[in-house]
Structure 1
């Protein structure tokens, strides 16, 4: 979750669908288990693109 909204966003109603992995120690592992990337043009898309998985840019 983006650090500017993480304290104001409650994922309870999305239990089992959306997961808060903000404190996960290695983002590279998250790239591998993800089906899709939703990003705000953060630099994460540069690495994720190498996996040839779909990406959605939230602008």
Structure 2
């Protein structure tokens, strides 16, 4: 069995806002790559208190 460090990329952030931005930026990066080869990409977003910072950051990132 592989150690967790080999299975996952672990990042630690000082604030929820930093974590939300990092997660949003990661998603936008993935979407941009996918849209290079696909006409459209479907995404389902979770809602709730734990997602507020992520969703706030996501709508602020220009990716057009």
| TM-score between both structures, scaled by the size of structure 1 | 0.28
Q: Which has the higher helix share?
A: 2
Q: Which has the larger radius of gyration?
A: 2
Q: TM-score, normalised by structure 2?
A: 0.27
Higher relative contact order (CA 8 A, sep 6+): 2
Whose strand fraction is larger, Structure 1's or Structure 2's?
1
